[in-house]
Structure 1
């Protein structure tokens, strides 16, 4: 319901507040036994029977009493950094009716102060004689005695319409009927009747021990993978026809070379189900899901791979990058430490007397940086692209983007055919507000791997930052079309959707920036066919 419908008058007709007032007065006029509270309400309504019209806040404020002892002080001036919105607002956008139509106030002009409540003339409150008992006396009474006392009270005032149906009387009736017990039976064991506070707390602590542990370890919980949506077990796509193909692993590698990242994902999913102990299959599944803009599943798959074969050095760096994307810095630093431990060249650099799990994020950051700087100095005469790649990830986590750019550029000097390195360089340049240079790095990545969906998505984000919204939308649609290709591998499940929700959400945002609000429905329906027509994408 709009504000105008609620408070605006329709050329003399009743508005919603008037209708509500009429209902109250109509119900009050019905012949029925009235309690004392009801009579007070009726008196108030009778004194204030003026039909409410629209609400005038200025009239209400004028009716408020002013405290003469309070001095009015001028409010703070508007900062030059915060524009006054009201001064820029067009009057035609002001909600509600014009103030000139607000001629009546809904509130009476009574001083707002607490008054003593008076009973109407000719009416006295029935006051039965009550006998109070102490808590100690109650503790020594049996349940039957308490019920008898409650019944005695109920019988005393059961004919008084004023209190017969109030909440306290309802409570006393339940006590008299034995539905509520205020004391324990004398037959119970004395230790059972009078448990000490310490005994109760100990019993509760034992009963809810697991819950207490979770609540008392809040920091560790929010740092955990479960709190960040990382599954312990990988959830496979249903209806995958590649499960029947024993060459799924090799076909996946071919699809990856051809740029069919979503198709490769499905092949590798089939491969790990056929060979659950294959570290290579799990590694390829993890790295490909990272390229497919699906970091949570990449993390789960890469962890499986490293559990089987802890010597896969590239897996640690890819895992650290995925953790960084999911804003899990501590896990990223641990992965980078594990890379050093697993490396035959640098494992001696890691001290055994420091437990990284006991360090906070800042301490862990300093520890990891110092170790990687030692690794760089170990081979000062040659460039190790893996060390430089890992250092780039470290500086990305700490948001030292200029240093990260230097590391990735150094790594690319000896590993220029690494599409992942080009993509990481592009993302770091974009985070450094160097969008034009970032686009150039992404082009290198896409030139090496045309199906690199993450790089394509990153190009779209950079175009958004440059204000090129149409081009951004086109890049997002290309990425979604690439992911859509995988649907052909689900003949038994037409409803399977392998596309990224992140890309869909960003596409909706950029269409809003373009003013193409009519496309929102197509995006919500994930109607790629019509969206391709709208942007003339074949």
Structure 2
């Protein structure tokens, strides 16, 4: 049943490969910058769950719109703080000197009501003023009006003109100052954008380096056994779907040999499947520091970076994968040496350029590389083009029908596109190939919540937590269990009319909760 969607695409309907190629013969509209979210399928990162989009408002939107050409690899706030503070100080002085005076002046002018006496700014009685004006030139007063009516209109006109001129002057000065301020800020931004050696950027880059160190588990019973080959044992556990044990064995392997590129790669992949993306990114970056051309690590890293909302870095990882391929490297016009964490903002130009390179290979290639399809699927997820991403992953699955990672990514993409029922089928297929795939089990729970199947969601979350709990070892802590899964379990339980379970979830009593839902402990 789970394979039906893919098979029908080949036999009963349009083949996914044909459908995918059709996307590239159509006009592609403007790609959205950033990621989008809808419903409970979007509780986390892409490919295991969705991600939240961002929107700018007010003057910030206006300013960013005017400066779109600024490169995405610059920090989003690269302006000189001294100049900005001076500008803000100037604003305060302007309103202190003029704004307060204007408010005092306007407040002294009363609101004119139809039946009220007209009072001028100096406090002169309107009737006395009218008589004074009438006595100066009574011949100018029309016989059709009562004495003093012309003076009253003149006074009213004078007051209105004074108020209008004052307000116009203040608004004009304020608007001019506002335009100057934003122009100066834009000039600062542009200057900084072209200056990679600016001290502020260097300080920022040196200080901000996430995922630079891998955090090992404090207690690792596997490391105590020196009579086994930790790497080979870890591979076997990974094949069996025992992710927690595989993680412990791979950690033992890299502690024994810190330059073991393969061990770092497998550790990163195991942590990603274990719903621990930050740890996965650290391990994969360590692998790439030993071998920057390791394409498997680059593709896995692109997924984890997307999950953690590092969109620009995901594009860079996909670019490096392409440029390090012997058949596709010529497509990359501007190769990069390493992934930069200066800014996670993904500009439209960055995303479009990376996508174009992958699409170009599909157009020119004699056969469809599933890795190209997978990379393109990630890119379409980044832009929110979920239907195109679905076709990419389906095309990749034609060559690798038993790849649980691809089935999970297909499921997450379907969920992101509000197709939760289809997503459930894809997740079940992935779990048929890898029963211990914790990330996929968690994703299945999220889709169950979205379909209002709360009891089933809780059961999947508890199963995932029990799988993770097996990796704690004797005297271990709960640190290896995902807090994201616990939070989702609390949400699912809250929809079930069982207030007595709240205390158990707050205490993280896995054994008691598992007994309540008839989930067998795996420990």
- TM-score normalized with structure 1 length: 0.57
Q: Secondary structure of the residue that 1:486 maps to in structure 2?
A: coil
Q: Classify 1:279/1:468 alpha carbon distance in 2 versus 1 (closer, same or farther; 3 Å).
A: same
Partner of 2:215: 235
CA positional deviation for 1:225: 6.5
Aligned-partner Cα distance in 2 for 1:338–1:515: 50
Partner of 1:290: 272
Partner of 1:378: 364
Aligned-partner Cα distance in 1 for 2:518–2:304: 34
Alignment deviations for residues 29-55 of structure 1 (CA, whole Å, 9 cap, x no partner)? xxxxxxxxxxxxxxxxxxxxxxxxxxx
Partner of 1:263: 245
Q: Secondary structure of the residue that 2:219 maps to in structure 1?
A: coil
Write the mapping of 1:97-108 to structure 2, written as runs, cut at 5 A: none
**Is residue 2:460 matched to residue 1:475?**
yes
1:391 is aligned, of 365, 376, 379, to: 376
Q: Which runs of 5+ in 2 are unaligned?
A: 1-109, 114-196
CA positional deviation for 1:70: 9.4
Q: CA RMSD in A?
A: 2.7
Aligned-partner Cα distance in 2 for 1:301–1:354: 21
CA positional deviation for 1:521: 1.9
Q: Is the CA contact (8 Å cut-off) linking 2:319 and 2:335 kept in structure 1? A: no
Aligned-partner Cα distance in 2 for 1:225–1:461: 33
Partner of 2:256: 274
Alignment deviations for residues 77-115 of structure 1 (CA, whole Å, 9 cap, x no partner)? xxxxxxxxxxxxxxxxxxxxxxxxxxxxxxxxxxxxxxx
Alignment deviations for residues 321-368 of structure 1 (CA, whole Å, 9 cap, x no partner)? 101111110000000000011111111111148899799622110110
CA positional deviation for 1:536: 1.8
2:500 is aligned, of 518, 525, 529, to: 518
Q: Which structure has the larger Rg over C-alpha atoms?
A: 1
Q: Is the CA contact (8 Å cut-off) linking 2:320 and 2:336 kept in structure 1? A: no
Aligned-partner Cα distance in 1 for 2:243–2:235: 10
Q: Is the CA contact (8 Å cut-off) linking 2:288 and 2:294 kept in structure 1? A: yes
**Is residue 2:485 matched to residue 1:485?**
no
**How many residues were matched structurally?**
323
Aligned-partner Cα distance in 2 for 1:458–1:300: 23
CA positional deviation for 1:528: 0.7
Alignment deviations for residues 293-340 of structure 1 (CA, whole Å, 9 cap, x no partner)? 000010010011112123321211110010111111000000000001
Partner of 2:440: 455
Q: Is the CA contact (8 Å cut-off) linking 1:408 and 1:425 kept in structure 2? A: yes
CA positional deviation for 1:215: 11
CA positional deviation for 1:520: 2.2
CA positional deviation for 1:433: 0.8
1:419 is aligned, of 391, 404, 410, to: 404
CA positional deviation for 1:216: 9.7
Higher relative contact order structure (alpha carbons within 8 Å, sequence separation ≥ 6): 2
1:310 is aligned, of 274, 286, 292, to: 292
CA positional deviation for 1:415: 1.0
Q: Secondary structure of the residue that 1:456 maps to in structure 2?
A: helix
Q: Which runs of 5+ in 1 are unaligned?
A: 1-67, 72-209
Partner of 1:162: none
Alignment deviations for residues 492-519 of structure 1 (CA, whole Å, 9 cap, x no partner)? x343531001000110111112233322
Aligned-partner Cα distance in 1 for 2:370–2:201: 42
CA positional deviation for 1:286: 0.2
CA positional deviation for 1:256: 1.1
Write the mapping of 1:312-391 to structure 2, written as runs, cut at 5 A: 312-352=294-334, 361-379=347-365, 381-391=366-376
Q: Classify 1:211/1:537 alpha carbon distance in 2 versus 1 (closer, same or farther; 3 Å).
A: farther
Q: Classify 1:215/1:260 alpha carbon distance in 2 versus 1 (closer, same or farther; 3 Å).
A: same
CA positional deviation for 1:450: 0.6
Aligned-partner Cα distance in 2 for 1:353–1:319: 18
Aligned-partner Cα distance in 2 for 1:497–1:326: 19
Aligned-partner Cα distance in 1 for 2:303–2:367: 24
Q: Is the CA contact (8 Å cut-off) linking 1:252 and 1:263 kept in structure 2? A: yes
Alignment deviations for residues 124-152 of structure 1 (CA, whole Å, 9 cap, x no partner)? xxxxxxxxxxxxxxxxxxxxxxxxxxxxx
Aligned-partner Cα distance in 1 for 2:456–2:199: 52
Q: Classify 1:326/1:473 alpha carbon distance in 2 versus 1 (closer, same or farther; 3 Å).
A: same
Write the mapping of 1:127-276 to structure 2, written as runs, cut at 5 A: 213=200, 226=209, 230-245=210-225, 246-276=228-258
Q: Secondary structure of the residue that 1:345 maps to in structure 2?
A: coil
Alignment deviations for residues 237-268 of structure 1 (CA, whole Å, 9 cap, x no partner)? 11212113341111111111221111111111
Aligned-partner Cα distance in 1 for 2:335–2:485: 44
Q: Classify 1:524/1:303 alpha carbon distance in 2 versus 1 (closer, same or farther; 3 Å).
A: same
Q: Secondary structure of the residue that 2:399 maps to in structure 1?
A: coil
Q: Classify 1:353/1:426 alpha carbon distance in 2 versus 1 (closer, same or farther; 3 Å).
A: closer
